[in-house]
Every structure is written in structure tokens, then in C-alpha cells.
Chains A and B, each alone.
Chain A
Amino acid sequence: MLGVQMVQLENVMKQFDDTYVVDDLNLDIKSGEFLTLLGPSGCGKTTTLRMIAGFEKPTSGKILLNGKQVDELEPYKREVNTVFQSYSLFPHMTVFDNVAFGLKMKKVPKEEIQERVTKALKLVQLEEYGNRKPKQLSGGQQQRIAIARAIVNNPKVLLLDEPLGALDLKLRKQMQLELKHLQQTLNITFIYVTHDQEEALTMSDRIVVMNKGKIEQIGLPYEIYERPQTRFVADFIGQTNILEGTVTAINGEQATMKFADQVVEIPNTTDVTLNEEVYISVRPEKIKLSETPFEGSINLKGTFKEKIYVGSVTKIVVTMANGQDITVNESHDKIDELTNTNDVYVSWSPKNSVVLKK
């Protein structure tokens, strides 16, 4: 199944008043894929999802669902279903009737409805709750019912609009894995909207990072995290240190650049050119702290500014000679070993630096 184009967005624009909330979006989503639209609030991710569902009509551009153009089609005629952020379970119906609603609307025979609803409730482990009203369930249970209500219709595409936003951290983590397993079992295309980068990294086959209505980067979770292509992506996904530099030489796959009084060779992943002003991004967990510089590493000298305990690691903010702060994640033991905190080296391997265009 994987490989068939299930959803295609072609030059999709959406204008509200004078601003384009979605600006010339092009995106192909494959059948059976778990794709996440990730970005800060107001980046256009929810609007994109609502256009696929049919609640919003694109100002211009085309939306294709399974090869058929649907952008003028009403929501109730599209073979997609949505799991809403607020669940939107009908309060006047029992759990069973909520899940059966879509099938009833399609005039599916009664016995088949009974069978499919029971199966869907079983899938979300709530088969005994059919006679309850949504209000009598916990947030996590309501969430599952909302999922059951959508998947019972065997949609071609399931759209999920921050479905785990209202759950507490522990339940959210658990549901992330459950949703991922569910998606693999059912082999339905999932389009998932979230602003939580960790959630996106955990669940997705591919991530689309959006900002101001445009796509910043599309890639595998690994690529998005390790090889961000813009400063926005590097900054938004996880934590990072951004340094400014200049390209002084290019030799094949490598680029030589000068920054903070250092000249180093790092992989040229973003096609920078000679003399270009660039950013260099390096993740806090890739940086080591020591009293002596490391051979073959980039070493910068600085002093401790702040120490923040965050549980699994300690975050150290080190101020460089040029006044810039660099955040380092280090183990508690390692920090205890350091005697002179006014004179330390922050070191990282050149291959852990990511060059970003300005």
C-alpha cells in the first residue's frame, strides 16, 4: 500500500482577511503514512488540516484525495475523518451512538453497525462503555472514543488536530505509542497536527515543519532533528546553540568556516558558498565540558554563568570570550569533577555542527 499518493496539496493558499495563513503549500502524503504537521501556533498547520477535512476552502490551489480533486467538496462527502482537539463527542448520545453516528448517516445495515462499533470500541479498549454518556468518561477515555468514532468509518485518511493536547503528560506519552500502534495495525494514512516537537519525533514517519504558512522542512524525524535546514527548524525542534560564522573555503563535502576565532571544517549539508555568512547550530547534548581542550574537536573557552538542574541532566550556560552564551547538557558527575568553573572548555566534534543559511 505504501507509496500510492493519498493526499496531494498543490500550490494551496488560504487567505484570512489580508494575511495568507497558508502560503503556497505543496505536499504529497503517501498511503499508510504517519505524517505530522509541526509548528508554532499560527503557522497554518490546523488550517491546512481543516482544508483537507473540508471545513475551510482554499483561496487557490488544488487538494487531491486518492487522486480525486476534493477542494470544492463538502466535508460530509469526503472520505476522511477527523479527531478533534476538543473531542466534540455528542453530549446527548451514548458512547455507542456516538461511534455509530457516521455509519448511521451512511445507512449501513443495523447488524453491521453493531458489529463494527463493537469492534472499534474493542480496539480502543472501551467495549464495556457503550451505554455511558461521554460526560461520564475521563478525558483519556473520551479521547479514545473520539478515535473510535473516526476509525469506525474506515476513512482513507484520518486527520488528528492536537488530539492529545488536553491530557496529562504521562497519559499523553502512553497515548502517543497507542496511536502509533493503531496506525500501524489499521494501515490508515494519519495526518497529525501538533506543536509538541517531542510528540512529532516519537510518532511520525515524516514531519513537515511549518512556519508562517510555509513549509520550512520536510523529513524523517531523524533528519529534522539532526540535519535541520533552516535556523527556524534548528531552533524550534529541541534546544540548540546558534553561532555566527563565515565560509572561508569549500572542499567537496566539507566547508571550512571561521567563527568565534576558530577555523574548522564541518560537513556542508546545506550547500553554502564561499564567503557566505552562515549560522552554525550545535545541540547542547553534543557538547562536552572539560578543563583541557579535546584533540580533533572544536574547543571554545569560557566561564560558568548558570547551572540549571533538570533531572536527567544538568544544563550549564557557559559565557564565551566574545560574550555569547552556549548551553551544554552534562551529567551531574561530570560537573562535580570540574574544579575551576571560571576556566572551562566547551568542545564538540565538527560533524555535530550543522551549517545553516542566513
Chain B
Amino acid sequence: MRRNFAKAYLLLSPSLFWLTLFLVIPVLFIGVISFTTNGDFGAIIYEFSTEAYTSAFSSLYAKVIWQSIWWAFIATVVCLIIAYPFAYFIAHSGKWKNLLLLLVMVPFWTNLLIRLYAWIILMNNQGVINNVLLDLGFIEEPLALMYSPGGVILGLVYGFLPFMILPIYSSIEQLDKTYLEASEDLGAGPVKTFLNVTLPLTFPGILAGFIITFVPAISVFVVTDLFTGGKLLMVGNVIRDAFLVEMNWQLGAALSLLLMILVLLSLMIFMRFTSRKDRKLLV
């Protein structure tokens, strides 16, 4: 037994090395910095202090963190609602499959900034959508498509939709079609087959899509920057500003750690609602 463990660690050592170098050590740095004292012009004075946490827990920042999680959650749910039928359609589109997948992948490969600028042209108060609606007489004055929580969520959905579509698509694609035939054979029509067989068997794809959409969506700051000009904040904006604008590395580090803990907690809560088997299928 002992020798087997040694062998396992030996085989794992390359990945353990990279994980230590690029994950554990940086997180430790952040942890240490968050407990130091803030000096003039952002200097780090190595004296123990919990000041960063005191301000991080203040209602102002707590509200931003909560808001980020909430917006990211809504955006993820909207992504899921759009992505599932979309992925289902692609998986059943026969010879068009590859073309449709390419159409999903192209924005995925394009920089988010560029894609968001394109949306600004559309959604601006003087943008295409408002102008068309005004000209057609549907509205009297421009709609506030941007500069609103709705705009932020729209930006998040748009930015992260491919992350949701791809894992769901792959789980639908890999679903053995004979399960569906077996279900029909046993008297289940298309709706019952979908609810009883397709949906539970593609759940690992939904779970994977949910996690890889939700986690980065919480901390993204370009959407709020571009769509609200910094009027609305997500925790990503606050952390960036703490590091780069206020030169308060301690606060940035504390917020980063808090965010990490909150994300892990929310994933754990999410996992609670999923059966053990589904998680096993995912890994």
C-alpha cells in the first residue's frame, strides 16, 4: 500500500507542481497581503492588521459582492434557458451541425471587449435599436437599455452563452439514442421522454455549463465598465480599483479571498441540490 501511494504521488507530481506554483503560492501571497498594513502610495508594510477585512465587510462592499453573485446567477439561469433548446437543436440538426457549432464558436474566439463594443452601438441611447423604435413610433423617448442592471445581465448572458451551450451540446450529442427509443417503446411520448430520460441524462452537461458560466461571470468587470460606464459595480470592478486606483492592495486581496470563499460556498450549496451520481458523471 505504502509503495502505491508513493507511486501515485510521483505520477501526480507534475500537476501538483504546477498547481502549487500557479495556484497555491499566489493565493498564499494574497492571503498574507490581506493581513498587512497599508502604507503611503500603496506600500505594503509587513505589520499585522485586519483593517482590510473591516472595510471589506462594510455594507458598501457586501452589497457589491451580493449584487455580483445575484446578477451572475440570473445571467447563468438565463443562459441555461437559452442554451438548452439551442444545444438540443444543434445536436439534432444533422448536416448543419458543424456550421451551427462554428457560429457558436466564432464569438467564443473573439475578444469580449470587441463584442461588447458592438453591443454598445446597438443599445446606446442613440443606438440602432432605440433609433429604429423611435422612428417606427413604438417609443417616445430612448429606452435605457444600458446603464441598468438589465443591461449588465444582458452583457453577461451574451458574453458567457457559449460556455453554457458547449457542455450541454456535448452531453446531448453523446446521449445514446437507444435510451430514447427504449423510453418511447415503453409508452412515453416525446414530452415524457424528454423529462424522464433526456433531461436527467444530460444533467452533467447542465451542471458543467452552470459552473463554468457562473464562476467567471461573478468577477467580470468589463461588462459593467462598458455598459454602465462604471455607474454600476460588480465585485470585479471594486477589486481592480482597489489594486490599481486606490493602491489599497490589502483591501483588494481581502475582497479577492472573500469572493473565492463565497464562490466555493455557493458551488457547495449548488452541489447539495445535485445527486452524488451526477457529480460523479461530471468528473
Spell out A's residues near B (CB within 8 Å): 53-55, 74-76, 80-82, 84, 86, 88-92, 101-102, 105-106, 133, 149-150, 153
A84 touches B184 (CB 8 A): no
Chain B residues within an 8 Å CB radius of A88: 176, 178-179, 181-182
Spell out B's residues near A (CB within 8 Å): 176, 178-179, 181-189, 192-193, 196-197, 200-201, 277
5 A-B pairs with least C-beta separation: A102-B186, A88-B182, A105-B187, A75-B184, A88-B178
Prevailing SS type, chain A contact patch: loop
How many angstroms between the C-alpha atoms of A153 and B182 in the bound complex? 13
CB distance from B273 to the nearest CB of A (A): 16
Chain B residues within an 8 Å CB radius of A105: 186-188, 192
B200 touches A101 (CB 8 A): no
B277 touches A82 (CB 8 A): no
How many angstroms between the C-alpha atoms of A150 and B185 in the bound complex? 9
Given known pairs A90-B197, A91-B201, A92-B200, the reply for A153 and B179 (CB within 8 Å) is: no
How many angstroms between the C-alpha atoms of A101 and B186 in the bound complex? 7
B182 touches A90 (CB 8 A): yes
How many angstroms between the C-alpha atoms of A18 and B277 in the bound complex? 45
Chain B residues within an 8 Å CB radius of A81: 185-186
Q: Could you say which of A55, A86, A153 contacts B186, with CB atoms under 8 Å apart?
A: A153
How many angstroms between the C-alpha atoms of A105 and B197 in the bound complex? 12
17 CB-based A-B contacts, threshold 8 Å: A53-B185, A55-B184, A76-B186, A81-B185, A82-B181, A84-B181, A86-B176, A88-B176, A88-B182, A90-B182, A90-B197, A101-B186, A102-B187, A105-B187, A106-B187, A150-B185, A153-B186
Chain B residues within an 8 Å CB radius of A84: 178, 181-182
Residue of B nearest to A100 (CB): B186
Chain A residues within an 8 Å CB radius of B187: 76, 102, 105-106, 153
Chain B residues within an 8 Å CB radius of A53: 185
How many angstroms between the C-alpha atoms of A74 and B189 in the bound complex? 9
How many angstroms between the C-alpha atoms of A80 and B186 in the bound complex? 9
B188 touches A82 (CB 8 A): no
How many angstroms between the C-alpha atoms of A101 and B181 in the bound complex? 13
Residue of B nearest to A75 (CB): B184
Residue of A nearest to B200 (CB): A92
Chain A residues within an 8 Å CB radius of B182: 82, 84, 88-90
A76 touches B188 (CB 8 A): yes
A101 touches B188 (CB 8 A): yes
